[in-house]
Amino acid sequence: MRAVVQRVSSARVLVDGQITGQIARGLLVLVAVRQDEASRDVAWMAEKILQLRLFEDASGKMNLSVADVGGGILAVSQFTLYGDCRRGRRPSYSEAAPPAVAQAFYDEFVRKLRESGLLVQEGVFQAKMDVQLTNDGPVTVLLDSPERRGEGGSQR
């Protein structure tokens, strides 16, 4: 799995002009599923995002998680995160999972985030979405599940 995580003051997703998900302070998570995904990747990614310390404490250091600040999470599926632009001028999406597989893992990812008790909103899988956000900082991080980085399952 791959995710782009942005700390936001607010974010929302619109589909056909209708808001499908929105949060105030929290994290906007753009997430993509790879072809050979495993449930352990989904669990790792959800847990990692929930525990990321991207919010500032009283000393101004990024020591607080989204849960610590009572924030929300807006999850948006985005297969284009696996776009490979190394050859030619058009990205190749051969690493991205097919839609039916990707949706099952995406849904599992959202369920795992919701188990935290935080407000978790989402876009609409495979829809053309308008994502609006106010990036706070800006703070943006890129996450790849350990299997994708060559770390293997035992080093999580």
Q: How many whole angstroms separate alpha carbon 103 and alpha carbon 125?
A: 7
Alpha-carbon distance of 96 to 119, in angstroms, equals: 28
Would residue 78 show up in a list of annotated catalytic residues for this protein? yes
Which has the closest alpha carbon to 103: 83, 79, 80? 79
Does the annotation mark 79 as catalytic?
yes
Closest CA to 93 of 101, 103, 82, 102: 82
Among 79, 105, 109, 121, the one annotated catalytic:
79
The dihedrals phi and psi of 99, each to the nearest 5 degrees, come to -50, -45
Q: Are 100 and 140 in contact (CB under 8 A)?
A: no
Residue with tokens 């996450």: 143
**Total residue length of the chain:** 156
The catalytic residue among 6, 20, 55, 78 is 78
Give the residue numbers marked as catalytic: 78-80
